[in-house]
Amino acid sequence: MKMRNVMLSLIVPAAAMGALITYGLVAVAVEVPKADIGSCAAYSGLPSGNHDTAGMMFIQAGAFTMGSERHQPEERFTHVVTVDGFWIDRHEVTNAQFKQFVDATGYTTLAERGLDPKTNPGLPKELLTPGSVVFAQPSNGPGRKISQWWQYVSGSNWRQPVSPGSSIAGKENHPVVHVAYEDALAYAHWRGRSLPTEAQWEFAGRGGRDGEDDWSSAFDADGKPIANTWQGIFPILNTQDDGYAGTAPVGCFRPNGYGLYDMIGNVWELTSDWYRAGQSREAATNPPGPELVSLRVAEGQTASRVIKGGSYLCSSNYCSRYRPAARQPQETNLSAAHVGFRTVLNRPLVTSP
């Protein structure tokens, strides 16, 4: 395996370089994708190289303030978390990358298989058929309700993201969606990687910025969107000021201070932590999240994993969780059109001589 030492100034804009220098990250070993900043539409969806850190960035070990006291109750309490250094995908996993996995292994996703009624006795029959959750923009008018926005569509899956017969042709560089937790984990293991813990994800998502969380990852000082979210009034009016109504190709928006793209917005990203509303008060090192046995899961319900970063469906009047500390639960037995993932490699940085 050959790895090049590349100065970040070659691949990260000056604005991001400031944060990197501040935090002592001037140069790391990184593989530069074929298409990068400003050319996301031309990106193949596959990072160059076949080595085991292809498309990844190394995040130096450090400590940060996890959670938020000012925003949603489930983000409290703030506490100091220390993480070891780790590698993380610079982009959300794309359709092209997931197709590589499926072509090599013959893997079928949960949305393509459907749920086993024996292990999901509480679910109605229609939710046991192969399918996934799709967002449908309702027409303006009275009587709008959440069941109109979110529909379980039989036959929808990562290959047919909108409805049966739809396609990902031409969307090879978009994030894969309609992947359940087990699907994301299977992909990560196939690559010899893991899914990020919530702490790893939040540390990477902050891009070197510590302290109380804010919306600066989603909007610039003038209020202009710098990530793929929803502008307008959800769910009826999407003004698309950011240029995208749905998913965008990965890497179309400026990277954060660590050179990572779309940590905020585009699609929510699965983490390996079980979801519990609220954060610990205690300082921790490499926290793996709560144990499943410590969660109170109602009979007939399914435990959830933490998802991070918000999506193209997060607006200021709904969701608004386009911040690194924001979090939501995602049922492990359900996939959706706005949830994807990226992978990590828990290995120290190794530079070539």
Q: Classify the C-alpha dihedral 43-44-46-47 as positive or negative.
A: negative
DSSP characters for 99-118?
A: HHHHHHH----HHHH---TT
The smaller minimum CB distance to Ca ion, of residues 266 and 279, is found at 266
Amino acid at 27: A
- Helix, strand, coil: what percent of the chain each, to 5? 20, 20, 65
Pick from 43, 348, 352, 335: which is nearest to 160 by CA? 335
The smaller minimum CB distance to Ca ion, of residues 26 and 41, is found at 41
The smaller minimum CB distance to Ca ion, of residues 90 and 276, is found at 90
Tell the residue number behind the tokens 């030492």, with chain if given: 5
The smaller minimum CB distance to Ca ion, of residues 37 and 284, is found at 37
Pick from 57, 59, 60, 58: which is nearest to 90 by CA? 57
Q: In the complex, what is the shortest distance from the CB of residue 235 to Ca ion, in angstroms, rounded to a whole number?
A: 13
Q: In the complex, what is the shortest distance from the CB of residue 237 to Ca ion, in angstroms, rounded to a whole number?
A: 12
Give contact residues for Ca ion (rule: CB under 5 A): 228, 242, 244, 262, 266, 309, 312
Return d(Cα 91, Cα 107) in angstroms, integer: 22
The smaller minimum CB distance to Ca ion, of residues 181 and 244, is found at 244
Decide if 20 contacts 12 (C-beta within 8 A): yes
Would you tell me the crossing angle of helices 95-105 and 181-190 to the nearest 10 degrees? 70
Q: In the complex, what is the shortest distance from the CB of residue 230 to Ca ion, in angstroms, rounded to a whole number?
A: 6
The smaller minimum CB distance to Ca ion, of residues 68 and 238, is found at 238
Strands 86-89 vs 79-83: parallel, antiparallel or unpaired: unpaired
The smaller minimum CB distance to Ca ion, of residues 133 and 250, is found at 250
Strands 339-340 vs 268-274: parallel, antiparallel or unpaired: parallel
